[in-house]
Structure formats: structure tokens, C-alpha cells
Structure 1
Amino acid sequence: MIESKIISSVQNPLVKKVLALKEKSRERKKTGLFVVEGRREIELAQKGGYKLNTLLYCEEILGDFNTLKISDKQSIELVQISKSVYEKLAYRKTTEGILAIAKSKSHSLDAIHFKNKNPLILVAEAPEKPGNIGALLRTADAAAVDAVLIANPKSDVYNPNIIRSSVGGLFTNQIGMGSTEEIVHFLKKKKVKIYCAALTASKKYMDCNFKSSSAIVVGTEALGLSELWLQNSDQNIIIPMEGEIDSMNVSVSAAILIFEAKRQRVQ
């Protein structure tokens, strides 16, 4: 690793760069870089094929740096920072004294490849709230879906809130992005059946067969799915509601639908 001196001033240019990457989506897009915080998230990022440019650590908090499972150490700049600088940079109070600057990936649909013959895909149209996006990625990781596709994205996936709420799930999923039209075309080209979570012309989700190549498509709680999805749906599906409220959080709905598909596939 390329070691540099200890940084103890929050006015240091590298510290300012990290703050800008954390706080400004524009800066992340311009540089192609983002900030990862925490031992588990950094290790998952590397495992997921993300390149680390710089590691910043506080020895007082982290302890022995050598316990980190870091590969390709020769090309990574290693920077020691004081506790006061770390506290300025840290997004969470409970992380272990380590942050990294990493290079973002392309999320084009052309980069999506399926290892399974009958892939299971989660599609989310226009998700906006970082907490919901993070929860969707956690569900996708838990179910080991083949890909997560985000149609008409409204949020930068490298937003620290999304990384935090996904608990590193951003790095463990194969993620593709595009317009609704592009993703519909992609799914049809791959001969993937489209199941849209919608209220109209719907079938109960437990009465559907998800054993073949399937994409489960969810929209926002406020607007649902756009007309283009409904026009191209092979089957609209619904989760029956037995209480007074007629909808659930999108990440909860996605989890129910995805795990029903998983249940069918192990029978």
C-alpha cells in the first residue's frame, strides 16, 4: 500500500474531497467515485468487484489494520486520520474507524448476465426514498435474486443513505438501470415473464407460477406502476389485504413476492 502521513486537520484537501463525495451526488457522478464506510461494507465492496482507491483509518478506533480482508493492497493509498477527522467524516457513529474511496461501476443493462437458466429478477420503477431502495437491495441479497433492475431511477445508488440502509447489499447484487422502455425491451429479449404488482386485472400472487424466468415488478406506493408496465405485463399480481389499509411498504411487498417465487423454486 502507498502510505501517507497522518491527517489531523478537517481543512485537509483529501478530507474536503471525502465530504464532497458523501454530500453531493453531482461530485460522485463527475468523479466516478463514492465513499464506503465500515469494515463489512468495504470488504463486501471488494468482494463485489469494486476497486478501492484510498483507505482512511483511525488507528485509535480501528485497532490492528491488518485484520481487514483487503485484496490488491499495492494499488491502494493508505491514509491515517485522527479521531476528530474520522468523526467529521463518519456517517454512522458505530462504524469501526475505517472509510474508503471507491470507484463506481457501470450499471448498463448490457452488463447484466444471468448464471441461472431461469433467472429471478426484481424490478423497481422510480424508487426514490433511500431507505426503500436499501431495503429492496437487502431483500434481493437475502433471496439471492439474479439481478435488480431500477427503471427510471430517481436516486443516486451511491448515496450514503442507500449504502447504509442496504447494509452492503449494494455491492452483493447485480444491478442494472435504464428507462422503463429499455428494461421492458431487455426482459422481452431475454424471454423473461413480467409479473406486475398492480390492483387491476390481478391474480393472487400465490396462485401464480414463478418457476420459469420471472421478473417481479414493483412501483412506488404513491403512484404504482406506469402504464407501459401494465401494457407489457404477462400477469398482474396482488397481495390480498385483510385489514383496513389497502397497501404496504414497497420493500415489504417485494419481499413477500420474491420469497414466494423462491419457495416455488425449491419444491
Structure 2
Amino acid sequence: MSKSILSLTSLQNDTVKAMAALLEKKHRDRTGQFLIEGVHLVQEALLAGADVQTIVFDAERGIPAELKKLLQNADCTLIEATTGIMAKCTGTDSPPPVFGVVAKSRYEEAAALFKAQSLVVVLDGVRDPGNVGTIIRSADAVGADAVVLGRGSVDLYNPKTVRSTMGSLFHLPIIEADLAELLPEAKKQGIRLVGTSLQASATCYGYDWSGPTWLLLGNESNGLSSYSLEMVDENVIIPMHGQSESLNVAMAGTVLLYEALRQRKYA
């Protein structure tokens, strides 16, 4: 390919240090950048038109075949690096063949959240990166309008969270917000706030998901915060006929989102 390629060989290089620093939240917050690791995530970012600023590949392995055509027109810096640099910048013993540096997205909240028939997932203190990533993937799969990460939830741009989204973070707006400000505004605009509770009498299958709805999902151990519980218009329960006491938050969110999809598209 004709695109010029820079070469990095020293772990002490300032560019290497700056990229490795993005493994820490304070540096991601300061620079407005984050890391994506692996062929699939880089591919999804490029296809989605994300602001990919730098792509680094392992010099020994070369540019992954899946990326060569995409990179021909990509407006980004292309770097080949040693395996040691790949490991330092991804924080893994077995580094991926490629990683990228991407600028954080900026979304207009009103446009994403307050659509006429909005379906939005709101995470209230969900801490596990795998759970957050799975919920974002499910929201993407059903065509939800956005995902909101309330304060106390895991950082979206944590490398583990980014990996677990499998690229879905590039497909829909994901907004970090203060729920104390956002939930009252949603209610003012006629959006129903729905939570889950093992004590609820209404099942998720009896609830009408066809109107503008925000689904609130709480912390893995403690559920929704007391504030969110006060704000919800209704709690629903997912019926269980086996011996399991409950589903984890990502599984529960997926079940509820697919019931909303069924009612909206297939009823």
C-alpha cells in the first residue's frame, strides 16, 4: 500500500509512552482518546467512521489482511511497532496484531435520547466491564436509540469495556450523564421509566413497551439506587420457572430489550 508508515522500536519513545498512558482513565479523560485492540474492533471503528487517529500494527506480523483495503482511504497515522511496544500499549502478555487510538465521541443528548418513540437503556452503577459491554451489544442488536452510563458505572473507555462491546460502541450513542438531572427531564417529556424488581407484580411480558421507554438497570449487587427506584414509573419482573433465583444484569437487560423489540416490530 502507498500510505506512509512510521516505525517505532523504543519503549522510551514519547509517542509510545503517550499511547500506553491511555490504559489509565486519567489520561483518557485528559486527552479525550482511548484504545481499541484487535482486528475486529479496528475494523468496526473504521467502517463506522469513528475518529481513528492512529493505527499501530506489529511489524513482525504486518498489516492484517482484513484492514488493508480500509486503511487505503483512512485519514490516520499508521505505525509499525515491535511486539514489546504492542504489549506495553495494550497491557497484555499476548498482544493483539493491531491496536488503534480513537477520539471519544460527542453526541447531542437531546437528539439521541428524546425521540418520539425512544428506547434507551440507562445503567445505574453497573460496574462490571463485561456486563456493560454485553448490554451495549444487546442495545445495538435491538436497535435501541442510546445507552446512558450513570455516575458510578464503569468507564466506557476502559479497555476491558471497549473489548466487551465487540464494536457496538461505534454503532449507537453512548452517553455518560448524571441521572439526577437526566431522569426528571425524561419524565417531563413523557418518557416512562421502567425498572426491574423481584418484588414486582407485573411481568415484562405484560408490560406495554411500545411507547417511549427508558429501561433502568442497576448495580450487580445492590440493584437500582434509591433515587432511581423513586423515579421509576413501574417495575417489572422476568418470570422464572426453574430453580435459578435471578439472572445477571446483562442477561436480564437482554431479555427485556428483546421483549421490547418483539412488541414494537413483531407483535
Q: Does the aligned pair in 2 maintain the 1:202–1:235 contact within 8 Å?
A: no
Moved over 4 A (4+): none
Q: How far apart, in 2, do the equivalents of 1:37 and 1:79 lie?
A: 14
Q: How far apart, in 1, do the equivalents of 2:83 and 2:95 lie?
A: 13
Partner of 1:106: 106
Q: Does the aligned pair in 2 maintain the 1:21–1:34 contact within 8 Å?
A: yes
Superposition pairs of residues 19-98 of structure 1, within 5 angstroms: 19-22=20-23, 24-63=24-63, 67-70=68-71, 73-74=74-75, 76-91=76-91, 93=94, 95=96, 97-98=97-98
- Single out whichever of 51-60 and 29-38 deviates more from structure 2: 51-60
Partner of 1:223: 222
Partner of 1:14: 15
Q: Does the aligned pair in 2 maintain the 1:119–1:145 contact within 8 Å?
A: yes
CA 1:146 to 1:5, structure 2 compared with 1: closer, same or farther past 3 Å? closer
Is 1:119 aligned to residue 118 of structure 2? yes
Query: What TM-score, normalized to structure 1?
Result: 0.87
Alpha-carbon deviation of 1:262? 0.7
SS in 1 for 2:53: strand
Deviations 1:25-83 (A, max 9, x none): 00110111111112221232244443122121224324467624248634x22211123
Alpha-carbon deviation of 1:193? 1.4
Alpha-carbon deviation of 1:134? 1.0
Partner of 2:257: 258
CA 1:72 to 1:51, structure 2 compared with 1: closer, same or farther past 3 Å? farther
- Single out whichever of 139-148 and 86-95 deviates more from structure 2: 86-95
Partner of 1:165: 164
Q: Does the aligned pair in 2 maintain the 1:221–1:248 contact within 8 Å?
A: no
Q: Does the aligned pair in 1 maintain the 2:193–2:213 contact within 8 Å?
A: yes
Identity level (%): 27
- Single out whichever of 156-165 and 134-143 deviates more from structure 2: 134-143
Q: How far apart, in 2, do the equivalents of 1:109 and 1:46 lie?
A: 23
Q: How far apart, in 2, do the equivalents of 1:4 and 1:69 lie?
A: 15
Q: How far apart, in 2, do the equivalents of 1:255 and 1:194 lie?
A: 17
Q: Does the aligned pair in 2 maintain the 1:123–1:215 contact within 8 Å?
A: yes
Deviations 1:171-226 (A, max 9, x none): 22211222222221232233221111123444111111111111111112311112
Alpha-carbon deviation of 1:4? 5.3
Q: How far apart, in 2, do the equivalents of 1:227 and 1:78 lie?
A: 48
**Unmatched tracts of structure 2, length 5 or more:** none
Q: How far apart, in 1, do the equivalents of 2:69 and 2:99 lie?
A: 12
Q: Does the aligned pair in 2 maintain the 1:121–1:216 contact within 8 Å?
A: yes
SS in 2 for 1:100: strand
Alpha-carbon deviation of 1:163? 0.7
Provide the alpha-carbon RMSD of the alignment.
Answer: 2.5
Q: How far apart, in 2, do the equivalents of 1:101 and 1:70 lie?
A: 14
Alignment-mate amino acid for residue 45 of structure 1:
A
**Unmatched tracts of structure 1, length 5 or more:** none
CA 1:261 to 1:177, structure 2 compared with 1: closer, same or farther past 3 Å? same
Alignment-mate amino acid for residue 238 of structure 1:
I
SS in 1 for 2:205: helix
Is 1:174 aligned to residue 140 of structure 2? no
Q: How far apart, in 2, do the equivalents of 1:191 and 1:2 lie?
A: 51
CA 1:72 to 1:117, structure 2 compared with 1: closer, same or farther past 3 Å? farther
